[in-house]
Structure 1
Amino acid sequence: MQIPTYATREDVKNALDSKATARNDGQIDRALAAATDSINGLCHRTFYPQVGTRSWDWPTATGGRAWRLWLDDNELISLTSLTSGGRTIDLADVLLEPNASGPPYTRLELNLSGSSSLGGGPTRQRDITAVGLYGYRDDVTTVGTHTGLNGSATTLVVDAATSAAVGVGSLLRLGDERLIVTGRSMHDTGQTLAGAVDQQVKTLGIPVADGSQFAETETILVDTERMRIDEIAGNTLIVRRAWDGSANAPHEAGAHVYAPRALRVTRGAVGTTAAVHSAGSVLRWDPPSLVRQLAIAEAVTGQAFEASGGARMLRSGEGSSERTRDSGALQALRDATYTAHGRKARSRAV
């Protein structure tokens, strides 16, 4: 199963000031996958949400209370259905705990004033089955809109805001379906240059027909030159020229403007099912800020490690103290992430 990463390829490239090539994109993707696995191991939990069906033995089989089920590493964000002994449990009788701080919820209990009960199956094994959304939290941000998607398409066309706000590795939600962004390609924005642009580096104002059709930080392509939008003033885009390894070039009035708004996506990700979607909002899942920052730092370190063949070269004038300081800063970020979000050991109460 393909999983999202806790930072995007674009996050790491910006941190490295790395230009786009198929080679370094692959290195970054591997480093991000490794960083995500490392963070899961460090914190003893999985942060991204996933729809699933999971089963447990009746708790009295392990000396527990008949009305309490510890979820252990199967932390819940929300519960869709619960059965025990082949009987459906009324969700009104289910208490997700700890209610003061969850999600994530680490146990569920039956309301002792209700009529529901656990157990009753032919054996204690896998007597209880819960369908729900598992993970740490389902924090999402509406990042823009899309043009619609049929049940099998793997390319999602989005607007400027979404293009600027998502990257390779992002986990998106359209309705009840979740999708993972696996690539981005240029798509005609329908906009053209409102005037000619010379090739001088100092020429940073790019006139377009309608500046409202773009977003800050979005990358655009005119002819063979890529530019990053730093600011928008009316119908003028204030850009960084020759972005992402491209070269300055002159452009004629009327030249078409492209942007990476065609997203290649994995459909029906993290336990969901592919569906038909009419044009609507795009929601992006957001990991905790410390988790995202650590993922970027781990991926930067991992990419540099791979690029150097496993040996980090000292920069000019650098000594062992600089290397120690670098590793110490990364370890401090790991410690802070674990303190804030790590799943701590608990004593099982019976």
Structure 2
Amino acid sequence: MTTLPTYATREDVKGALDFKQSARADRQIDRALHTASRGVDALCRRRFHPELAARSWDWPNAQRARPWRLWLDENELISVTEVTTGGDVVPPEAVFLEPNAYGPPYNQVQLDMSSATAGWIGGNTHQRSITITGLYGYRDDETTAGVTVGTLDSAAATVTVDAATSAEVGVGDLLRLDTERVIVTGRRQAATGQTLAADIDAQAKTVLVPVLDGTEFAVEETILIDGERLLIVDIAGDSLIVRRAWDGSTLAAHTTGTAVYAPRTLAITRGDLGTTAAAHTDGTSVHLFAPPALVHQLALAEAINILLQEQAGWFRTATGGSTSREATLEALTALRTQVYDALGRKARLRGV
């Protein structure tokens, strides 16, 4: 089965609902996120993540388009690597992706009418006469999260990353290492090489955690000391300012010299979305795919709704005074409408 990314992460859901860490909860959240993300795709009638692929079309076909135009419909393009028609490669300069004024995504491919390849042609039969190899999807927007730590061979199932990446990346995210795309499926604790520089007590108000070197950590990164997880909200020199007992863990006292861990080892699937697994050097940049903000928000909201509905046996109620009634989803419905209006692929009449 093809592994697909989610448009929000396990960590996003836990932060919103304060889910206690457990393998069962993780599976439940991941399932809800996949359902929610594919639901957003279905609502908008497009896939928002990029995928490298070669796809084919018949020619002539039922589109009734001009002989130089091919409508892509749901097969929207971000960029093109190669186009063939009737078995012949079309020169790149003769390929126009449209609408060029505001794409990607591009919903049609046109041939330059002034070129030698001024129209699509069939092969021995009309079937699959046109093949377009390229990056399909809505957009390929990325941010640079950080870098890898250590080398990575083409068969490795985990990758270790730096503090900046650990703070930015979550389970379900789509990453790019060089030309390879990978999807994060889990996280494991890794030694940071740092220890506590002083004792800290078991009081929630004690939020200053002294370490040997504060530059080895990042804001929004989760750390593990003994059995307690802590969320870093700020860093002042060699002191981490944290939220205690994070992720459902238990508040506890810790002594000087205790090792500090962080979930910097990422379990990944390799060679995803049409790419090929490859070796990567130490310090390879980690690029994080960023779906549109509204898509992220709706995927998160849908996943939270699924989880809460499951907990309530799919009959959530809202209590008011001495009465209770089934909870309405007006805010979620409004968000769905907003996302579709802004990002949904609208129907097109096949005229030309």
User: TM class by shorter-chain length?
Assistant: over 0.9
CA RMSD in angstroms comes to 1.5
Contact 2:143-2:290 at 8 Å conserved across structures: yes
Where structure 1 has 5 or more consecutive residues not aligned to the other structure, the ranges are: none
The aligned amino acid for 2:102 is S
Match of 1:123 in 2: 125
Question: How far off its partner does 1:120 sit?
Answer: 4.2
Contact 1:187-1:258 at 8 Å conserved across structures: yes
Which of 267, 275, 283 in structure 2 is aligned with 1:272?
Answer: 275
**C-alpha distance in structure 2 between counterparts of 1:42 and 1:120, whole Å:** 34
Q: Which structure 2 residues correspond to residues 192-341 of structure 1 after superposition, within 5 A? A: 192-279=195-282, 280-315=284-319, 317=321, 323-324=327-328, 327-341=329-343
Match of 2:145 in 1: 143
**Change over 3 Å in CA distance of 1:62–1:206 after alignment to 2:** closer
The aligned amino acid for 2:216 is Q
Give the SS at the match of 2:318: coil
Where structure 2 has 5 or more consecutive residues not aligned to the other structure, the ranges are: none
Segment drifting more, 115-124 vs 266-275: 115-124
**Change over 3 Å in CA distance of 1:315–1:231 after alignment to 2:** farther
Question: How far off its partner does 1:161 sit?
Answer: 0.8
**Change over 3 Å in CA distance of 1:328–1:321 after alignment to 2:** farther
Contact 1:154-1:267 at 8 Å conserved across structures: yes
Match of 1:170 in 2: 173
Contact 2:159-2:265 at 8 Å conserved across structures: yes
Question: How far off its partner does 1:102 sit?
Answer: 0.5
**C-alpha distance in structure 1 between counterparts of 2:34 and 2:303, whole Å:** 8
Give the SS at the match of 2:125: coil
Aligned residue pairs total 348
Contact 1:211-1:234 at 8 Å conserved across structures: yes
The aligned amino acid for 1:86 is G
The aligned amino acid for 1:228 is L
**C-alpha distance in structure 1 between counterparts of 2:157 and 2:258, whole Å:** 29
Question: How far off its partner does 1:202 sit?
Answer: 1.8
Segment drifting more, 110-119 vs 232-241: 110-119
Match of 2:27 in 1: 26
With the length of structure 2 as denominator, give the TM-score of the two structures.
0.95
The aligned amino acid for 2:9 is T
Give the SS at the match of 1:73: coil
Contact 1:95-1:109 at 8 Å conserved across structures: yes
Give the SS at the match of 1:95: strand
Identity %: 56
Match of 1:344 in 2: 346
Q: Is structure 2 residue 172 aligned with structure 1 residue 181?
A: no
The aligned amino acid for 1:145 is V
Contact 1:59-1:65 at 8 Å conserved across structures: no
Question: How far off its partner does 1:316 sit?
Answer: 6.8
**Change over 3 Å in CA distance of 1:120–1:329 after alignment to 2:** closer
Question: How far off its partner does 1:59 sit?
Answer: 4.0
Question: How far off its partner does 1:319 sit?
Answer: 5.6
Question: How far off its partner does 1:198 sit?
Answer: 1.9
Question: How far off its partner does 1:315 sit?
Answer: 4.6
**C-alpha distance in structure 1 between counterparts of 2:51 and 2:313, whole Å:** 35
**C-alpha distance in structure 1 between counterparts of 2:62 and 2:44, whole Å:** 29
Contact 2:317-2:327 at 8 Å conserved across structures: no
Question: How far off its partner does 1:159 sit?
Answer: 0.6
